[in-house]
Amino acid sequence: MKIENALPEGYQLHQYSIAKTIGGGGFSIVYLARNGQNGQWVVIKEYLPDKQAARVDGESVETLSHTTASTFNTGMKRFFDEAMALSKINHPNIVRVTDFFRENNTVYMVMNYEDGKDLRFYIKRHNGRMTEKFIRTVFPQLLQGLRELHDHNLLHLDIKPANVYLRPGGSPLLLDFGAAQSSFVNERRALPHTLTRGFAPIEQHTRGHIGPWTDLYAVGATMWACLCGKAPPPATKRAEKDTYKPAVRQFSSYYSRELLEAIDWCLQMDQLSRPQKVDALLDALNKPPSAPPEPEPLIERLKQKLPWGG
């Protein structure tokens, strides 16, 4: 993958040898690398906001101007602090941060490399319509990892299908903490950062009062994408005119009422109307369905197989 400002293949960064660039844009560049000490593959994230800084002479990162220097340095300190906090978390459903350091006038975060595919792959393959069993298997595990994050006073702030990684066997891993920040400082107001339309609640767009409920909106939006293959309407559009149709009305033929009510609960615009803590949502998801959904009528199944969808 060719990304401007990326370190070249073969570059030696401490004991890590860069194999290739695997992602980037916005606030960071992500590499696949090999640890020369034990031969294991790792993922390295480099702090490099492309609107504030650039690579100089193939190595060092320099700010674009004096006006961007302050923002760059503030962001770099936050990136380092969050890497330090994440390195203390060891949970099977949270990507493991094994090392972090300063180099090239920026900061690097080193994480375990895992085999698998992100949730986008499965949603696209099935055009949504993930089974209820799948959702009830994956998301409680994911929420247990998120609870561990919240217990360390951290918010993720960018939960979406691309950041939910499914390993062989289906065990989920929460990825990409580029937007993560301490949840109980700065009057709980989100600092400027990237967000994903459709998955971010209104308080992230308006720099409002953030907390665990902010991540839980994104969890609900990610579950919604598992039902229909796309994100709910963006929160900014919903604030103007809410076109969101409750899951209990749209998907009652395919999923239990308990599951659909949990998703609608997460996607409330009013943050006080959402689950306030992970455990509340876990309790809702762990309730057994009162009755299985009605079998899908044969005519509806046949319509779905037509190229125009009926």
pLDDT digits (tens, 9 = 90+) for 22-46: 988 778 999 999 999 999 999 999 9
In the predicted structure, residue 157 carries a pLDDT above the cut 70: yes
pLDDT in tens, 221-259: 999 999 999 999 999 999 999 999 999 999 999 999 999
| 221 contacts: CB under 8 Å, gap ≥ 6 | 160, 198, 199, 231, 232, 266, 267
Domain stops at, among 72, 97, 112: 112
Torsion of CA 170, 172, 173, 179, to 10 degrees: 140
Res. 184 pLDDT band, cuts 50 70 90:
very low
What is the CB-side half-sphere exposure of residue 77 using CA atoms within 13 A? 5
| Residues 146 and 175 occupy one common structural domain | yes
In DSSP terms, 173 is beta-bridged to 165
| Residues 151 and 266 occupy one common structural domain | yes
Task: Tell me, rounded to whole angstroms, the distance of Cα 155 from its chain centroid.
Answer: 11
Residue 269 to residue 182: CA distance in whole angstroms: 23
Q: So what's the pLDDT on residue 275?
A: 98
| Residues 235 and 126 occupy one common structural domain | yes
- Of the listed ranges 121-130, 247-256, 299-308, the one predicted with least confidence: 299-308
CA angle 221, 232, 28 (to 5 degrees): 65
Res. 302 pLDDT band, cuts 50 70 90:
very low
In the predicted structure, residue 192 carries a pLDDT above the cut 60: no
Pick from 245, 198, 223, 229: nearest CA to 304: 229
CATH of the domain at 54: 3.30.200.20
| Count of structural domains, the chain | 2
Q: So what's the pLDDT on residue 296?
A: 54
Q: Label each residue of the chain as H, E or C.
A: CCCCCCCCCCCEECCEEEEEEEEEECCEEEEEEEECCCCCEEEEEEECCCCCEEEECCCEEEECCHHHHHHHHHHHHHHHHHHHHHHCCCCCCECCEEEEEEECCEEEEEEECCCCEEHHHHHHHHCCCCCHHHHHHHHHHHHHHHHHHHHCCEECCCCCHHHEEECCCCCEEECCCCCCEECCCHHHECCCCCCCCCCCCHHHHCCCECCHHHHHHHHHHHHHHHHHCCCCCCHHHHHHCCCCCCHHHHCCCCCCHHHHHHHHHHCCCCHHHCCCCHHHHHHHHCCCCCCCCCCCCHHHHHHHHCCCCC
| Residues 264 and 123 occupy one common structural domain | yes
Domain stops at, among 112, 144, 169: 112
| Residues 100 and 138 occupy one common structural domain | no
45 is in an annotated binding site: yes
Q: So what's the pLDDT on residue 4?
A: 86
| Residues 269 and 207 occupy one common structural domain | yes
**pTM, whole model, 2 decimals?**
0.84
Domain that holds residue 277: 117-285
CATH of the domain at 159: 1.10.510.10
| Residues 135 and 19 occupy one common structural domain | no
